[in-house]
C-alpha cells in the first residue's frame, strides 16, 4: 500500500496544487501548462532525493505548519461566511443518509473520499525521522483539526454555490486576493507531502528487504547522524518514471483520485 502511495500520492499532491492555475489563466493555456509543470516539479523532486532530507528538512516543518494554518484559517472563514451550520455534517447520521439515498453510486464515490486518508499509513512507515509519540500528538492536535476545518469550509462554500461543484472546490473557495499566495503555499506543501511518502517508501522497502520479503537493492544512508534517513536509487527512478506516466496517462485529478481510492 505504501509503495502504491509512493506512485500516486506525489502525482495527486503536486497535480492538485498546480491545478489552481486554472482560475488564473484560460482553459486552453491551463490544459497545456499543468501537466508539464507537474512533471517538472516531480522530476526535480526525485532528482534531489540522493542529497537526503537532512539538508532541506529544516524547511519542512515551517511549510507544513504554514499550510495547516492556511487551510484551517480559510476553513473558518468559509464556515462563518457561507454556512455556520455546516458543523452538523460531523454527525455520522448524514453519512448514513447519503449512502442510503445514493446506494451504489454513493459507495462508488467513496473511492474519491478515501483521498482524505491517503498516505496516512506512511507516517508510521517513516519512523526514522519522527518518534511514535510525536506523530500521534502532531496528528491529533494539529493536523486533524486543520483538515476538518478545511473540509468543512469547502462544504460550507459548496452548500451555497452548487454551480461550482464541478470546479476545483478548494481554490474557488479561496478569496481572489489570496489565491496566488495560497497556490504557492499549496505547491510547497505538496512537495513536502510527496517527500514524506517517498521517504516512507524507501523506509518500508528497506524494512522488507531486511526481512527477506523484497529483492536486494542498494540502500544509501544519506545522514551520518540519523540511521533512518536512506535513499534507494533503483526505487527512486522507478517511482519517478511511474509518477510521470500516471501524470501523462490520467491527465485529470478525478481519475487519479479514483485510481488511488
For the chain, what are the domain ranges?
A: 2-260
Instruction: Calculate mean pLDDT across residues 154-159.
Output: 88
- Residue 40 and residue 247: Cα distance in Å, rounded? 11
pLDDT category at 70 given cuts 50, 70, 90 is very high
Closest CA to 13 of 245, 248, 243: 243
Comparison of pLDDT for 204 and 74, the residue scoring more? 74
pLDDT category at 76 given cuts 50, 70, 90 is very high
- pLDDT tens across 105-152, in order? 888 777 667 666 665 665 655 555 667 788 788 888 998 899 899 989
Instruction: Check if the beta carbon of residue 121 is closer than 8 Å to that of residue 51.
Output: no
Number of H helices, E strands in the chain: 12, 2
Sign of the alpha-carbon dihedral angle for 139, 141, 143, 147: positive
pLDDT category at 74 given cuts 50, 70, 90 is very high
Comparison of pLDDT for 72 and 193, the residue scoring more? 72
Q: Which three cell numbers stand for residue 81?
A: 461566511
Q: Which three cell numbers stand for residue 131?
A: 518518534
Instruction: Calculate mean pLDDT across residues 22-39.
Output: 74
What are the residues whose beta carbons fall under 8 Å from the beta carbon of 251, sequence distance 6 or more? 35
Please name the residue that has the C-alpha cell 505538496: 190
- pLDDT tens across 215-244, in order? 888 888 776 666 667 788 888 899 899 999
- Residue 89 and residue 257: Cα distance in Å, rounded? 22
> Percent of the chain, pLDDT > 70?
79
Residue 231 phi/psi, 5-degree rounding, is -145, 130
Reported in sequence order, the residue ranges of 205-256 that DSSP labels E, i.e. its strands, are 220-221, 230-231
- Specify the pLDDT at position 66: 93
Instruction: Check if the beta carbon of residue 125 is closer than 8 Å to that of residue 62.
Output: no
Chain centroid to CA 113: how far? 13
Reported in sequence order, the residue ranges of the chain that DSSP labels E, i.e. its strands, are 220-221, 230-231
pTM of the model: 0.78
Amino acid at each position: 500500500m505504501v509503495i502504491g502511495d509512493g506512485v500516486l500520492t506525489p502525482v495527486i499532491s503536486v497535480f492538485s496544487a498546480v491545478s489552481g492555475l486554472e482560475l488564473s489563466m484560460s482553459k486552453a493555456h491551463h490544459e497545456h501548462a499543468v501537466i508539464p509543470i507537474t512533471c517538472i516539479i516531480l522530476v526535480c523532486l526525485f532528482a534531489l532525493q540522493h542529497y537526503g532530507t537532512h539538508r532541506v528538512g529544516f524547511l519542512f516543518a515551517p511549510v507544513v505548519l504554514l499550510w495547516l494554518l492556511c487551510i484551517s484559517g480559510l476553513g473558518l472563514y468559509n464556515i462563518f461566511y457561507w454556512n455556520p451550520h455546516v458543523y452538523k455534517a460531523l454527525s455520522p447520521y448524514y453519512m448514513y443518509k447519503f449512502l442510503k439515498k445514493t446506494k451504489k453510486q454513493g459507495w462508488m464515490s467513496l473511492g474519491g473520499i478515501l483521498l482524505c486518508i491517503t498516505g496516512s499509513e506512511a507516517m508510521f512507515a517513516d519512523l526514522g525521522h519522527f518518534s511514535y509519540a510525536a506523530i500521534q500528538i502532531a496528528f491529533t492536535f494539529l493536523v486533524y483539526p486543520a483538515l476538518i476545518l478545511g473540509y468543512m469550509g469547502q462544504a460550507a462554500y459548496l452548500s451555497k454555490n452548487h454551480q461550482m461543484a464541478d470546479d476545483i472546490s478548494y481554490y474557488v473557495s479561496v478569496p481572489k486576493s489570496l489565491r496566488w499566495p495560497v497556490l504557492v503555499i499549496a505547491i510547497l506543501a505538496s512537495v513536502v507531502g510527496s517527500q514524506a511518502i517517498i521517504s516512507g517508501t524507501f523506509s518500508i522497502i528497506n524494512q522488507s528487504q531486511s526481512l527477506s520479503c523484497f529483492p536486494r537493492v542498494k540502500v544509501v544512508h544519506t545522514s551520518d547522524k540519523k540511521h533512518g534517513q536512506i535513499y534507494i536509487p533503483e526505487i527512486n527512478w522507478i517511482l519517478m518514471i511511474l509518477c510521470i506516466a500516471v501524470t501523462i496517462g490520467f491527465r485529470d485529478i478525478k481519475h487519479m483520485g479514483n485510481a488511488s481510492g
